[in-house]
């Protein structure tokens, strides 16, 4: 499959580095562009453009880490910081706007109430994203 | 990709501008770092040799060698520091982490000064080499105007933010090394080897006074301008912990070999007095001219071949090389010196950006232009200071020595603080990861202190004190600059209600 643009939503989890490396190695074959994005979810009680310093600082660290990981893999990544009410629609919107062919997302397998839960954003992306989606679950250890 | 997906009514998204704490792409490998560093260090031989010869006369090769050993100590300290703290601030970053923000500011300001003088001295020397093509450029007034023109032109380019190609730098570094090797080989094979007494007479017969010898060692440190460059570029390097030390060690080896060879070539082709009086600003042009006069192609050909056809061919080859050499040196030296001037401006941009990030200099200097994305205020201000430093060029015949002294003041102060910071970091933060750790340590109160850093600190401080005590102009201008920087720093910190000594937080830089 020919890939031109890959979107990697980051969340600060332990698998971020791995999915960035994976995206870079997949992108290298077809010289595709890699976009890493972090979405700050703003509570509905606040205006959407409210800048929450602690969240912004955290997002900057995560995206800088993503840039460093890509640099170590000898590849360029373009990073973006978004604010939205929910991460899912923001990821899909970003994928549509950028004409992304592949979204690589990290997830964890949890069963909070005895029911497997991959997270709201993952379900939304799986349901709505028009492109391919690759889910990555880190090793349990 | 066709899609029917549309955001729902409540789905709104905002794209936030990123602070870009790492705005520089990591693209340079060890050779890329070496090329950029060598571009700076290698360019200094085009003026330092003449300047050192003005003072140290026949002892020039000796003082260059002694300064070279000091350069090894300095490069090793930078290798440990850069691998440990890969930030664009170089020794200012070491001092900030090792001591405090006040020391970081002092070191940064001293570095800024050495960059400004590098800009002035490189631009001042370039027209002298161009004089091969147009003689009036060697005159003081025309030469100074041309030097000012070079700085003004590069200032405009740097404000607009024209990218300097890494390939261009590397190509010129390789061409420069090859030309210098050619000069050294011609001088050693055809002048030094058959007539070694010329070199020894020039050295021993023109030995300077003890005072000039010490001052010569101080000024010879000028030849090693640019060791800071590798540190500054570490934020743009891939795996800086590995590539930066490799680049620095490669630079030590290449620079020491070339500088020793060039100084042997210099005094094999001319006397120290000739160099000091006629070729002070363009010593390599002097060597090229000396070679073209001293080597007789027919004699060389007769020595290398006995067949008439061979003699004709070899004569033609040598005649061609010796005819091209002076012009090649003139073009190459001018280009390298202009690149060095530009590197100084780029170095100041990076340094002020880094110092501004950690609130070590007033933010006014670090403001980035909204359109060009360059720290235009810093570029304009520091270029104007470099232009001011060139004004004595119109009437003072010793402008060259003045500029050399000023450079030594700034760089040796920064080097001394870099060595001190490496030692301090060993005591204060022994736990920091040191991908390149200096060997040859002595134990002091449970800490391992590198001998090379101790020797480097003693050597650089002693030479800096010598320059301060013996050069009144350098003393007053240098201390005036440092006082100006200190007042600026203290006023800025006081107004912003930031601690004067302790660390302030890293910030996003303002955009105009």
- SS3 of residue B430 by DSSP: coil
Reported confidence tier of residue A141, pLDDT bands at 50, 70, 90: low
- SS3 of residue A16 by DSSP: helix
Q: A85, B3: Cβ pair inside 8 Å?
A: no
CB atoms within 10 A of CB B498: 14
The per-residue pLDDT for B259 is 83
How many interchain CB pairs under 8 A, A with B?
68
Cα–Cα distance, B48 to B283 (Å, whole number): 8
Which ipTM did the prediction report? 0.84
Q: How far is B429 from chain A (nearest CA, A)?
A: 24
Q: Work out whether strand B441-444 and strand A102-107 pair parallel, antiparallel, or are unpaired.
A: unpaired
Fold of domain B30-278+335-495? Amino acid/polyamine transporter I (1.20.1740)
Count each helix (H run) and each strand (E run) in chain A, helices first.
4, 5
Reported confidence tier of residue B26, pLDDT bands at 50, 70, 90: low
Nearest Cβ partner for A101 among B1, B13, B19: B1
Cα–Cα distance, B498 to B491 (Å, whole number): 10
Judging contacts by C-beta atoms under 8 Å, the chain B residues touching residue A103 are none
Percent of chain B with pLDDT over 70: 93
- Say yes or no to pLDDT of B163 above 60: no
Identify the residue whose tokens are 């101080």: B218
Which DSSP letter does residue B66 get?
H
The per-residue pLDDT for B54 is 85
Residue of A nearest to B3 (CA): A130
Judging contacts by C-beta atoms under 8 Å, the chain B residues touching residue A84 are 11-14
Q: Work out whether strand A5-10 and strand A33-41 pair parallel, antiparallel, or are unpaired.
A: parallel
Q: What is the pLDDT of residues B68-87, one digit of tens each?
A: 888 888 888 988 888 888 77
Identify the residue whose tokens are 């990073």: A79
The per-residue pLDDT for B507 is 64
Nearest Cβ partner for B15 among A68, A80, A85: A80
Q: A83, B13: Cβ pair inside 8 Å?
A: yes
Q: What is the DSSP string of B186-232?
A: HHIIIIITT-HHHHHHHHHTT---HHHHHHHHHHHGGGGTTHHHHHH
Q: Quote the strand ranges of B56-166, DSSP E.
A: none
Reported confidence tier of residue B23, pLDDT bands at 50, 70, 90: low
Q: What is the pLDDT of residues B301-321, one digit of tens each?
A: 888 778 888 888 888 888 888
Cα–Cα distance, B470 to A29 (Å, whole number): 63
The per-residue pLDDT for B476 is 93
User: Which residues are B447's β-sheet partners?
Assistant: B444
- Say yes or no to pLDDT of B105 above 70: yes
Reported confidence tier of residue B22, pLDDT bands at 50, 70, 90: very low
| Torsion sign across C-alpha atoms B82, B83, B84, B87 | positive
**B126 or B5: whose pLDDT is higher?**
B126
Judging contacts by C-beta atoms under 8 Å, the chain A residues touching residue B16 are 40, 51, 56, 81-83
**Number of domains comprising chain A:** 1
Contact B208, B56 (CB under 8 A): yes
Judging contacts by C-beta atoms under 8 Å, the chain B residues touching residue A90 are 11, 13
**B120 or B248: whose pLDDT is higher?**
B120
**Mean residue pLDDT across chain B:** 83
Q: What is the mean pLDDT of residues A26-42?
A: 91
Burial string for B260-288 (b: 16+ CB within 10 Å, else e) reads ebbbbbbbbbbbbebbbeebbbbbbbbbb
**A105 or A47: whose pLDDT is higher?**
A105
Taking any CB pair shorter than 8 Å as contact, residues of chain B touching chain A are 1-3, 5, 7-8, 10-19, 21-22, 25-26, 238-239
Count each helix (H run) and each strand (E run) in chain B, helices first.
19, 3
Judging contacts by C-beta atoms under 8 Å, the chain A residues touching residue B22 are 64, 67-68
Q: What is the mean pLDDT of residues B104-125?
A: 91
Nearest to A41 by CA among A91, A82, A102: A82
Residue of A nearest to B24 (CA): A67
Nearest to B406 by CA among B121, B71, B213, B154: B121
CB atoms within 10 A of CB A103: 26
Q: Phi, psi (5° rounding) for residue A124? A: -60, -45
The per-residue pLDDT for A136 is 92
Reported confidence tier of residue A1, pLDDT bands at 50, 70, 90: low
Q: Phi, psi (5° rounding) for residue B499? A: -60, 140
Residue A12: give the domain boundaries. 5-137
Q: What is the pLDDT of residues B452-475, one digit of tens each?
A: 999 999 999 998 998 899 888 889
Q: What is the mean pLDDT of residues B435-439?
A: 78
The per-residue pLDDT for B419 is 93
The per-residue pLDDT for B194 is 84
Cα-based distances in Å from B326 to B111, B180, B286, B288, B370: 34, 12, 8, 5, 45
- Say yes or no to pLDDT of B367 above 60: yes
User: Which residues are A6's β-sheet partners?
Assistant: A34, A102
Burial string for B374-413 (b: 16+ CB within 10 Å, else e) reads bbbbbbebbbebbbebbebbeeeeebbbbbbbbbbbbbbb
**B117 or B230: whose pLDDT is higher?**
B117
Domain ranges of chain B: 30-278+335-495
- Say yes or no to pLDDT of B118 above 70: yes
The per-residue pLDDT for B19 is 55
Stretch among A136-140, B152-156, B196-200 having the lowest mean pLDDT: A136-140
Q: How far is A130 from chain B (nearest CA, A)?
A: 6
Burial bucket for residue B306 (CB in 10 Å: 0-12, 13-18, 19+): exposed
Residue of A nearest to B21 (CA): A64
User: Which residues are B16's β-sheet partners?
Assistant: A81
Q: A82, B26: Cβ pair inside 8 Å?
A: no
Cα–Cα distance, B136 to B126 (Å, whole number): 13
CATH number at residue A27: 3.40.50.620
Q: What is the DSSP string of B135-179?
A: GGGGSHHHHHHHHHHHHHHHHHHHHHTPPPPHHHHHHHHHHHHHH
Nearest Cβ partner for B19 among A60, A86, A96: A60
Best mean pLDDT range from B43-47, B209-213, B291-295, B419-423: B419-423
Interface test with A, best of B4, B9, B11, B86 (most A CBs within 10 A): B11
Residue of B nearest to A3 (CA): B1
Q: B239, A72: Cβ pair inside 8 Å?
A: yes
Q: B13, A90: Cβ pair inside 8 Å?
A: yes
Nearest Cβ partner for A99 among B1, B21, B26: B1
Identify the residue whose tokens are 């067949």: B307
Q: A130, B1: Cβ pair inside 8 Å?
A: yes
């Amino acid at each position: 499959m020919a890939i031109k643009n890959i979107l990697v939503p980051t969340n600060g989890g332990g698998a971020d580095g791995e999915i960035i490396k994976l995206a870079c190695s997949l992108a290298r074959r077809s010289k595709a562009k890699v976009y890493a994005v972090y979405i700050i979810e703003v509570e509905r009680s606040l205006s959407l453009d409210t800048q929450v310093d602690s969240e912004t600082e955290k997002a900057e660290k995560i995206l800088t880490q993503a840039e460093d990981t890509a640099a170590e893999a000898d590849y360029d990544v373009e990073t973006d910081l978004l604010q939205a009410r929910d991460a899912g629609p923001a990821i899909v919107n970003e994928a549509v706007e950028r004409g992304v062919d592949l979204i690589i997302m990290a997830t964890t397998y949890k069963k909070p109430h005895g029911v497997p839960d991959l997270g709201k954003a993952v379900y939304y992306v799986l349901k709505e994203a028009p492109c391919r989606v690759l889910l990555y679950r880190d090793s349990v250890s | 990709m066709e899609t029917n997906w549309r955001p729902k009514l409540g789905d709104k998204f905002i794209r936030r501008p990123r602070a870009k704490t790492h705005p520089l792409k990591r693209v340079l490998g060890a050779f890329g770092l070496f090329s950029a560093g060598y571009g700076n260090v290698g360019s200094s031989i085009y003026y330092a040799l003449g300047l050192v010869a003005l003072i140290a006369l026949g002892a020039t090769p000796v003082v260059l060698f002694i300064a070279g050993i000091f350069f090894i100590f300095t490069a090793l300290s930078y290798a440990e520091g850069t691998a440990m703290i890969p930030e664009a601030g170089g020794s200012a970053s070491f001092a900030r982490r090792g001591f405090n923000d006040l020391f970081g500011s002092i070191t940064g300001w001293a570095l800024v000064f050495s960059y400004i003088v590098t800009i002035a001295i490189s631009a001042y020397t370039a027209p002298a080499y161009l004089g091969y093509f147009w003689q009036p450029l060697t005159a003081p007034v025309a030469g100074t105007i041309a030097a000012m023109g070079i700085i003004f032109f590069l200032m405009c380019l740097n404000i607009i933010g024209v990218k300097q190609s890494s390939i261009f730098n590397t190509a010129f570094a390789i061409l420069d090394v090859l030309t210098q090797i050619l000069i050294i080989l011609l001088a050693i094979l055809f002048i030094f080897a058959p007539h070694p007494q010329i070199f020894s007479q020039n050295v021993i017969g023109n030995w300077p006074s003890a005072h000039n010898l010490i001052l010569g060692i101080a000024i010879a440190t000028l030849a090693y301008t640019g060791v800071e460059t590798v540190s500054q570029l570490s934020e743009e390097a891939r795996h800086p912990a590995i590539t930066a030390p490799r680049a620095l060690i490669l630079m030590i080896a290449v620079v020491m070999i070339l500088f020793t060879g060039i100084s042997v070539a210099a005094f094999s082709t001319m006397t120290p007095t000739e160099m000091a009086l006629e070729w002070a600003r363009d010593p390599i042009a002097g060597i090229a001219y000396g070679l073209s006069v001293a080597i007789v192609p027919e004699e060389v050909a007769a020595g290398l071949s006995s067949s008439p056809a061979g003699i004709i061919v070899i004569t033609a080859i040598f005649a061609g090389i010796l005819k091209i050499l002076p012009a090649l040196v003139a073009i190459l030296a001018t280009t390298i010196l202009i690149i060095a001037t530009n590197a100084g401006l780029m170095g100041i941009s990076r340094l002020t950006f880094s110092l501004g990030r950690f609130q070590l200099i007033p933010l006014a200097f670090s403001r980035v232009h909204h359109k060009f994305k360059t720290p235009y205020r810093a570029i304009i201000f520091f270029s104007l200071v470099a232009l001011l430093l060139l004004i004595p060029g119109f009437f003072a015949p010793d402008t060259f020595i003045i500029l050399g002294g000023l450079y030594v003041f700034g760089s040796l102060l920064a080097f001394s603080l870099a060595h001190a910071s490496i030692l301090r970091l060993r005591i204060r933060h022994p736990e920091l990861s040191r991908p390149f750790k200096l060997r040859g340590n002595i134990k002091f109160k449970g800490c391992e202190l590198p001998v090379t850093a101790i020797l480097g600190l003693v050597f650089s401080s002693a030479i800096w004190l010598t320059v301060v005590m013996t050069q009144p102009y350098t003393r007053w201008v240098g201390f005036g600059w440092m006082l100006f920087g200190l007042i600026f720093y203290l006023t800025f910190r006081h107004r912003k209600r930031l601690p004067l000594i302790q660390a302030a937080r890293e910030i996003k830089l303002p955009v105009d």
